[in-house]
Every structure is written in C-alpha cells, then in structure tokens.
Amino acid sequence: MDIPEYKRGDLMKLNDLVGKEIINIYDGMRMGTVGESDMLIDDQTGKIISIILPNRGNMFNFWADRQKLVIPWEAVKKIGREVIVVDLDHTHMRLKNNSI
C-alpha cells in the first residue's frame, strides 16, 4: 500500500496524524508523538492552530520546567509517512506553565 506524503493544502483526517513522531529540524530533537499530544482547533474553520505536547519528564528537554510545549501549526514544514517535521528555534517556541 502506497502511503502518500502530504503537502500544504491537502486534506487529511486527524487519524492520519496519530502515531507520527514530531521531529524538530532546528536541533534534530524528537519532541513527542501525535496521540500523546493535544491539538488546538479553530471551532469556526476546523483548522489546526497548534499542537500541544505535554512534558514527558525527560530531564534533557529544554522545556523540562514547563508543563507543555505549544507548537504553532505554521511551524509544521512537512508531514511524512512516519514523522511530522517542524522548524522551531528556542526564540519561537511558546512555552506554557498554565492551561490553554
């Protein structure tokens, strides 16, 4: 079965994202997996606004002192067969200690 790579503007189901690893091309860090994360979705358009990753308790995470990391959907550069590639440097990450 041939699984396509998605391009900006392609339609996909939320289920198509579940299980994909999120990788940051800025530093090569594995950030988490869709399924462990939440998504903020615009209730008017149905579009994803951001991916919200919980702190996995890894002491080496640069957001280890935060409860969650919010990845803006604009930071998503590519959705492949197994991974979602994002481009976030430390100055563009939105770190949250409180609930969204």
Does 99 have pLDDT greater than 50?
no
1 within some domain: no
Residue 2, in any domain of the structure = no
Q: Please, which residues have CB within 8 angstroms of residue 76's CB and are 6 or more apart in sequence?
A: 51, 84, 85, 86
Residue 7 within a domain? no
* Residues of the domain holding 68: 14-96
Q: How far apart are CA 82 and CA 70, in angstroms?
A: 21
Mean pLDDT of 79-96: 77
- pTM here is 0.70
Residue 78 β-bridge partners: 85
- DSSP track, 19-82: TPEEEETTT--EEEETTTSEEEE-TTT--EEEEEEEP---TT-TTTTSSEEEEEGGGEEEE-SS
Does residue 19 belong to any structural domain of this protein? yes
- CATH code of the domain containing 82: 2.30.30.240
Decide if 3 is inside a domain: no
Instruction: Judge whether 41 lies within some domain.
Output: yes
pLDDT tens digit sequence for 9-23: 667 788 888 899 999
* pLDDT single digits (tens) 49-82: 999 988 765 544 554 555 788 899 999 999 998 9
pLDDT of residue 82: 93
Instruction: Provide the domain count of the chain.
Output: 1
